[in-house]
Amino acid sequence: MTDHEAHLALGALANPVRTELVVLDMAGTTVADDGLVERAFRAALPDFTEADLAHVRDTMGESKITVFRHLTGGREERAQKANAAFEAAYAGLVDEGRCAPLPGAEEALRRLREDGRAIALTTGFARDTQDRIITALGWRRLVDLTLCPADVGGRGRPHPDMVLAAALRAQVSSVAAVAVAGDTASDVRTGRNAGAGTVVGVLTGAHDAATLEAAGATHVLGSVAALPDLLTAREG
């Protein structure tokens, strides 16, 4: 038995609470990134540096305007313009057909629905960009909720706001009945900050297993495709 398999076995015993809501990140978790986010950042800032790239990678999953405020030294007008340019660049890539689901992601969404679990997709993108991605993938009827930072007053990850808003809208019995999954430390911290009963890191995006575990992931999976089986196992 591998370390991850042992971790799953322990998790199955540790939390018998049924998961009613699954909150999933998009780029890198359910949606293939393939460098699109980094390309959009470069398009948004003509003087984009390697140090900027390192910061972008470290903060993957966070609200993009928050990242741009750091990259522009807190100059709000420039940050807002850069953020708008980023969203336009990413939307253009989506419209060019460069947006695709990660292997097994769509099947996982269908399995979660078949198991009677509500699904929320969350993102650090703006609402228009999120809507374009969901429309391009044809996922509108596969998910119950979609949330971006603007929907919860502007606070994105690692704040718990999007997860808690999804929990309220889905009318879950408790936060212990919520599972959060994402590919970044920020995704994991969001789940922990919200008090979610299950917080899963996946290895299809920005951060490795050590980073996800250090952020507090209760489980680390190769991809979101394994999530439905994990939740079933945890419920015994």
Tell me: do 115 and 89 sit in the same domain.
no
Give the phi and the psi of residue 199 in degrees, each rounded to 5: -130, 110
pLDDT band at 59 (very low <50, low <70, confident <90, very high): confident
If pLDDT is split at 50, 70 and 90, which confidence band does 15 have?
low
Q: Is the pLDDT of residue 92 over 90?
A: no
At 99, give phi and psi (nearest 5°). -105, 130
Residues 63/127, Cβ–Cβ less than 8 Å: no
Q: Based on the domain organization, do 197 and 157 belong to the same domain?
A: yes
Domain boundary among 76, 95, 114: 95
The answer to whether 23 and 143 are in contact (CB under 8 A) is no
Indicate the residue among 95, 117, 132 that finishes a domain: 95
Average pLDDT over residues 115-143: 92
Predicted local confidence at residue 120, as pLDDT: 98
Q: Is the confidence at residue 12, as pLDDT, over 90? A: no
Asked if residue 40 and residue 26 are part of one domain, the reply reads no
Give the number of domains in the chain: 2
CATH of the domain at 178: 3.40.50.1000
Last residue of a domain, one of 75, 95, 115: 95
Q: Of 173, 204, 184, 185, which Cα lies nearest the Cα of 32?
A: 204
Q: pTM of the entire structure?
A: 0.82
Q: Would the pLDDT of 5 be above 60?
A: no
Angular region, 153: left φ>0, alpha ψ -120 to 50, beta rest: left
Q: What is the structure's pLDDT at 132?
A: 87
Averaged pLDDT score across all residues of the chain: 88
Helix or strand holding residue 55 (H, E): helix 50-58
Q: Give the domain range for residue 12.
A: 3-33+101-234
Residues 203 and 122 in one domain: yes
Tens digits of per-residue pLDDT, 150-201?
899 888 889 999 999 999 999 999 999 999 999 999 999 999 999 999 999 9
Asked if residue 148 and residue 116 are part of one domain, the reply reads yes
Distance, in Å, from the CA atom of 197 to the CA atom of 187, rounded to the nearest integer, reads 14
Q: Are residues 119 and 65 part of one domain?
A: no
Residues 90 and 105 in one domain: no
What integer pLDDT is reported at residue 227 of this predicted model? 97
